Amino acid sequence: MGLIVQKFGGSSLATIDLVKRAARRVVETKRQGHRVITVVSARGHMTDELLDLAGQVSGAPPRRELDMLVATGEQQSVALMAMAIHALGEPAISFAAGQIGIFTDSQFTRARILNIDPRRILQELEQDRVVIVAGFQGVDEQDNITTLGRGGSDTTAVALAGVLGADLCEIYTDVDGVYTADPRVVPEARKLPSISYDEMLELASLGAAVMHSRSLEFAKKYRVPVLVRSSFQDGPGTLIVEETQEMENVVVRGAALTTDEAKLTLHQVPDRPGVAATICEHLDRHSINMDMIVQNTGEDGLTDFSFTVAKSDLPESLAAVEEAAREVGAKRISSDPNIAKVSVVGVGMRIHTGVGAKMFRALASADVNIQMISTSEIKISCVVDAADGKRALAVVHQAFRLETVGAPNDTATATGWTG
Amino acid sequence: MGLIVQKFGGSSLATIDLVKRAARRVVETKRQGHRVITVVSARGHMTDELLDLAGQVSGAPPRRELDMLVATGEQQSVALMAMAIHALGEPAISFAAGQIGIFTDSQFTRARILNIDPRRILQELEQDRVVIVAGFQGVDEQDNITTLGRGGSDTTAVALAGVLGADLCEIYTDVDGVYTADPRVVPEARKLPSISYDEMLELASLGAAVMHSRSLEFAKKYRVPVLVRSSFQDGPGTLIVEETQEMENVVVRGAALTTDEAKLTLHQVPDRPGVAATICEHLDRHSINMDMIVQNTGEDGLTDFSFTVAKSDLPESLAAVEEAAREVGAKRISSDPNIAKVSVVGVGMRIHTGVGAKMFRALASADVNIQMISTSEIKISCVVDAADGKRALAVVHQAFRLETVGAPNDTATATGWTG
């Protein structure tokens, strides 16, 4: 008999029939002899609808009140889920975050969990009840309701699993697992049976919308095994776990394409200490996140400094870069919104050599020109022309034989990746 | 500078424009120098919609979970109201019942307030904030969310006003005050400037839907002056207050017609001790509320025993009465769903004589036959044929010159009475 946390996202609860379906999953798991904690999100698009209401009331609503408002979405879900489980003959009890002591800081709309009091949950589990917890929310030390920001319900689920030492945290969602690449772009992409926290974190930052980074960091910290599964069909899903030595036998576990970035370059910047810092400080002052940053060894005391930003930040970034260019004495600025970034991720890179060469050779063989290269311990990213993006992803996927890494797909509707 | 509690019902918050209108009222009151506590209901028909959702999930949802579900309606209202007030430039903070310590018993869906902790509210008022409280809800000692049943938001408002010693509790609703009779039935009906708690309690039990009895009992107990006003237009409303000696100068303050009852009679019942008790016990066993109970002095050791019940309870009542008739030895049972009850209410009856005679004479002059009569200290009720109901109400209203009791109407849309 184990302790299992099961989390159901908004799309998995969008209709009453889906609520009942989720309840059947929970009841099945309980009847297999497990103790079950269920974490639920707001149903369907309720959070967005509530935010829209708030927007009609005020152009700048206080963030405390936004949290008070949107937290009702999850509270409705827990109550309905408790009723549905009860109707199937199993005892269940619902809780808002404040009732079971999910304590956060007071950063409304993006609070962080500080502490969870497990006592009430353990009491209820001992009474043989399914415990249903509102995801996405907490309370601060003054008992104000807070919310955890994007991916918050996953964070709640993983944090509960961690604090209570659960054997497994199941994330039921509208995708059936994590793929070697976005199957909408690469038809050969395969579903991965398992993946390490670090690999998943890299893929999440590259657009795999399966889980939000913060919840993955929690999972990694508390070593919670996370199983991502579809709520609409059966199937094994993908297990996100601690890295094993065996995992390193696979050099690359996944590949990704991102197309929402733009590139900026300061040309012929004096090659002296403090230049990079000055440029970044100007971007910081405009609250712009830089992603890839590349600077090469210079010639004649001059160098080029390039980086990428979110496409939507490009106009603001240009203003910041013009200030920076004046200050550091750059000769020229250029920018290009028509880029794509192709990346490969795998813990195997730590011990295998030649990964970069294989990737660059694959791109060259497809006549794809590489504009920028950036590497980390388990990731290599190349910026290419936007028009080459999909072709680049396909050849890289092929070069690393990723269609042999995953299991044969059990569905054709996978959408675990955002474009 | 006073302390004012302002309560807005669901119809007063049904649209975002109405929420903003209510917020303007609150801000006006605050800018007149008052401290303001605002109590709000769920918006529009949200409570019914949530109950409908619950019904789709389960035929018999646990009542704890029903409360968890419907309490979200008021929580949304407080948040939106806080945003709207904030947008008008005044600081405001919203609270669910649990956050400010509105403690109730654990009778889910019909809990009673046991205790209110005023500390957090007083702290926030001292910070010059408008305090916005979710009506209709509380928490029990285990921090489970409870709701107060029908009229619950009024009860919250009056209870807060009582505990905090507020100078006034304003109930903003979709009617503009309390009338001498239902103006839809009696066009001459006038709005009352003021009325005593006891009179209002009697009129509420006769269908004046302005406020629920339980909140009126609270108001009476804590001597909270309650002002019933329209949220849709300006106007003085009706003040519900402690009885003054002056009030007794008016014999009758209001008249009412109820048409939702049926009459049952046990004919030729042996006239001996215990008969009435036996009959009532049978009705109790079927959980049927009896309203008017009339038994006259008998002849030949036999008497007739009549009472009224809600029309919807008639079939069940007949079953109960048949059992009772066998036990007490009644000769015959009769029932009539086609009745109406005409009543007059006024504290002046305590000192004035001839009220009954005047009422009965008025009915006789209109050729209305009286089937049953029942009196209390401040009320006289007559059961008549349903077809005579409206005419009976009109002649009684005229006989007591009620069109001179109230103020001239400032609206033609009054609907303070349910049919």
Tell me if A346 is assigned to some domain.
yes
If asked whether residues A145 and A32 sit together in one domain, one would say yes
Helix (H, G, I), strand (E, B) or coil at B290: strand
What are the DSSP calls for B257-274, one per residue? Answer: EE-SEEEEEEEEEE--TT
Mean of all residue pLDDT scores within chain B: 92
* In the predicted structure, residue B72 carries a pLDDT above the cut 90: yes
Instruction: Mark yes or no for CB contact A78/B68 under 8 Å.
Output: yes
If asked whether residues B269 and B158 sit together in one domain, one would say no
Interface-testing mutation among B68, B78, B99, B117, with chain A (most A C-beta atoms within 10 A): B68
Which residues in chain A are closer than 8 Å to B19, comparing Cβ atoms?
57
Q: Is B1 on the interface with A (CB under 8 A)?
A: no
Domain holding A385, by residue range, is 339-404
* φ, ψ of residue A333 in degrees (nearest 5): -120, 140
Q: How many other β-carbons are positioned within 10 Å of the β-carbon of residue A134? A: 32
Distance (Å, whole) CA A17 – CA B294: 53
Domain edge (last residue) among B220, B243, B266:
B243
Which residues in chain A are closer than 8 Å to B18, comparing Cβ atoms?
none
Instruction: Please report where in the chains the tokens 């094993």 appear, as a residue.
Output: A244
Instruction: Mark yes or no for CB contact B69/A79 under 8 Å.
Output: yes
If asked whether residues B16 and B135 sit together in one domain, one would say yes
Instruction: Note the pLDDT of residue A352.
Output: 87
Helix (H, G, I), strand (E, B) or coil at B176: coil
Domain edge (last residue) among A288, A311, A336:
A336
If asked whether residues B222 and B255 sit together in one domain, one would say no
Choose among B58, B76, B94: nearest Cβ to A83.
Answer: B58
When divided into structural domains, chain B yields a total of 2
Tell me if B154 is assigned to some domain.
yes
B56, closest residue in chain A (CA to CA):
A16
Average pLDDT (B8-24) is 96
Interface-testing mutation among B65, B86, B109, B136, with chain A (most A C-beta atoms within 10 A): B65
E strand spans, A277-317: 290-295, 302-310
Question: How many Å lie between the alpha carbon of A291 and the closest alpha carbon of chain B?
Answer: 36
Instruction: Mark yes or no for CB contact B99/A16 under 8 Å.
Output: no
Query: For residue B139, which amino acid is it?
Result: V
Tell me if A188 is assigned to some domain.
no
Instruction: Mark yes or no for CB contact B79/A66 under 8 Å.
Output: yes
Which structure tokens are listed for A255?
A: 């590949």
Point out the least confidently predicted range of A151-165, B81-95, B169-183, B294-308: B294-308
Q: Is A84 on the interface with B (CB under 8 A)?
A: yes
Question: How many Å lie between the alpha carbon of B82 and the closest alpha carbon of chain A?
Answer: 7
* pLDDT < 50 regions, chain A: 410-419
Q: pLDDT: is A354 or B338 the higher one?
A: B338
Tell me if A253 is assigned to some domain.
no
Average pLDDT (B248-261) is 92
Q: B108 with B54: CB under 8 angstroms?
A: no
Which residues in chain B are closer than 8 Å to A78, comparing Cβ atoms?
68
What's the pLDDT tens digit per position in A13-55? Answer: 999 999 999 999 999 999 999 999 999 999 999 999 999 999 9
Instruction: Please report where in the chains the tokens 């949290």 appear, as a residue.
Output: A67
If asked whether residues A55 and A149 sit together in one domain, one would say yes
Tell me if A161 is assigned to some domain.
yes
The upper half-sphere exposure of residue B204, i.e. CA atoms within 13 Å in the direction of its Cβ, equals: 19
If asked whether residues A153 and A96 sit together in one domain, one would say yes
Instruction: Note the pLDDT of residue B207.
Output: 78
Q: A142 with A160: CB under 8 angstroms?
A: no
Percent helix, percent strand, percent coil in chain A, to nearest 5: 40, 25, 35
Choose among A20, A65, A86: nearest Cβ to B79.
Answer: A65
Instruction: Mark yes or no for CB contact B80/A53 under 8 Å.
Output: yes
Distance (Å, whole) CA A417 – CA B267: 80
B134, closest residue in chain A (CA to CA):
A68
If asked whether residues A161 and A15 sit together in one domain, one would say yes
State the DSSP H helix or E strand holding residue A258, giving kind and residue range, or none if neither.
strand A254-258
Question: How many Å lie between the alpha carbon of A236 and the closest alpha carbon of chain B?
Answer: 28
Helix (H, G, I), strand (E, B) or coil at A292: strand
Domain edge (last residue) among B191, B223, B243:
B243
If asked whether residues B166 and B276 sit together in one domain, one would say no
How many DSSP H helices and E strands does chain A contain?
12, 20
Residues 6+ apart with CB under 8 A from A352: A248, A251
Q: Is B408 on the interface with A (CB under 8 A)?
A: no
Which residues in chain B are closer than 8 Å to A88, comparing Cβ atoms?
none
A23-28: long-range contacts (C-beta < 8 A, 24 or more apart)?
A23/A81, A23/A84, A23/A85, A23/A87, A23/A88, A24/A88, A25/A172, A25/A231, A26/A81, A26/A85, A26/A90, A26/A92, A26/A130, A27/A85, A27/A88, A27/A89, A27/A90, A27/A130
Distance (Å, whole) CA B36 – CA B31: 10
Tell me if A202 is assigned to some domain.
no
pLDDT band at residue B299 using 50, 70 and 90 as cut-offs? confident
Q: Is A334 on the interface with B (CB under 8 A)?
A: no
DSSP annotation of A403: G
What's the pLDDT tens digit per position in A297-319? Answer: 777 888 899 999 999 999 999 99
Distance (Å, whole) CA A339 – CA B416: 67
Which structure tokens are listed for B405?
A: 């009791």
B91, closest residue in chain A (CA to CA):
A62
Q: How many other β-carbons are positioned within 10 Å of the β-carbon of residue B31? A: 12
Q: A228 with A177: CB under 8 angstroms?
A: yes
CA A3 to chain centre: 25
Distance (Å, whole) CA A50 – CA A55: 9
**Closest to B72 in 3D by CA, of B100, B112, B43:** B43
* In the predicted structure, residue B416 carries a pLDDT above the cut 50: no
Tell me if A162 is assigned to some domain.
yes
If asked whether residues B200 and B293 sit together in one domain, one would say no
Supply the CATH number for residue A361's domain: 3.30.2130.10
A351 CB burial (10 A radius; 0-12, 13-18, 19+): exposed
Residues 6+ apart with CB under 8 A from A359: A344, A380, A382, A396, A399, A400
Q: A283 with A352: CB under 8 angstroms?
A: no
Instruction: Mark yes or no for CB contact A68/B144 under 8 Å.
Output: no
Instruction: Mark yes or no for CB contact A80/B54 under 8 Å.
Output: yes
Which residues in chain B are closer than 8 Å to A66, comparing Cβ atoms?
79, 83
Instruction: Note the pLDDT of residue A407.
Output: 63
Q: Is A157 on the interface with B (CB under 8 A)?
A: no
Q: pLDDT: is A90 or B293 the higher one?
A: A90
Q: A320 with A283: CB under 8 angstroms?
A: yes
Instruction: Mark yes or no for CB contact B80/A16 under 8 Å.
Output: no
Interface-testing mutation among B69, B83, B121, with chain A (most A C-beta atoms within 10 A): B83
If asked whether residues B261 and B326 sit together in one domain, one would say yes
Tell me if B361 is assigned to some domain.
yes
Supply the CATH number for residue B205's domain: 3.40.1160.10
If asked whether residues A159 and A281 sit together in one domain, one would say no
Choose among A64, A75, A80: nearest Cβ to B57.
Answer: A80
Distance (Å, whole) CA B151 – CA B208: 13
What are the DSSP calls for A353-383, one per residue? Answer: --HHHHHHHHHHHTTPPEEEEEEETTEEEEE
Instruction: Mark yes or no for CB contact B82/A65 under 8 Å.
Output: yes
Distances (CA, A) of A269 to A274, A276, A302, A326: 11, 10, 5, 10
Which residues in chain A are closer than 8 Å to B145, comparing Cβ atoms?
96, 99
If asked whether residues A325 and A278 sit together in one domain, one would say yes
Q: What is the pairing mode between strands A238-241 and A226-230?
A: antiparallel
